[in-house]
Amino acid sequence: MEELIQCLGKYQHDNYANVIAGDFNCPKIDWARLTSPCDAIHRPLLDFVTNAGFVQVVEAPTRLGNFLDLVFTDDPIRVCSTVTEPSFGHSDHDMISFKIILNYTHDSPCPTPR
């Protein structure tokens, strides 16, 4: 986890919106309450996310009631229409579908799903 967090921090850009998505396999983080066990896996990820100003935008579990596949952003207005969908192929995880608004102004609403 330490190497992953170093990598994420290295590529985080201060002048642009950042979006990180993937299977983080940290089922013991409660993203609604921002709590986790104080171990070497869950706590460092939660600390990185909160200290770097990211929010986690996936609202439904992706595998057996656990939030494993996550989307983090430091500009939550740009990430919208986040939906958990059935798994693809032979995966045992549900998919996360989301939209990113690239050209944002305060008048830009989230695009409506089609």
In-domain check, residue 44: yes
Q: What is the mean pLDDT of each run of 10 residues along the chain (114 residues)?
A: 95 93 95 96 97 95 91 94 89 92 70 54
Report the pLDDT value the prediction gives residue 4, as an integer from 0 to 100.
Answer: 96
Report the pLDDT value the prediction gives residue 105, as an integer from 0 to 100.
Answer: 66
Domain count of the chain?
Answer: 1
Q: Which residues pair with 79 in a beta bridge?
A: 100
In-domain check, residue 10: yes
Sign of torsion over alpha carbons 95, 101, 107, 111: negative
Alpha-carbon torsion angle 78, 84, 89, 93, nearest 10: 110
In-domain check, residue 103: no
What is the SS3 assignment for 4?
A: helix
Residue 59 tokens, joined: 């609202």
Report the pLDDT value the prediction gives residue 114, as an integer from 0 to 100.
Answer: 47
pTM, two decimals, is 0.85
Report the pLDDT value the prediction gives residue 107, as an integer from 0 to 100.
Answer: 62
In-domain check, residue 23: yes
Domain that holds residue 70: 2-75
In-domain check, residue 83: no
In-domain check, residue 96: no
Report whether 101 contacts 57 (CB < 8 A). Answer: no
In-domain check, residue 87: no
DSSP string computed for 16-72: S--EEEEE---TT-BTTTTB--SSSSHHHHHHHHHHTT-EE---S-SBTTB--EEEE
In-domain check, residue 42: yes
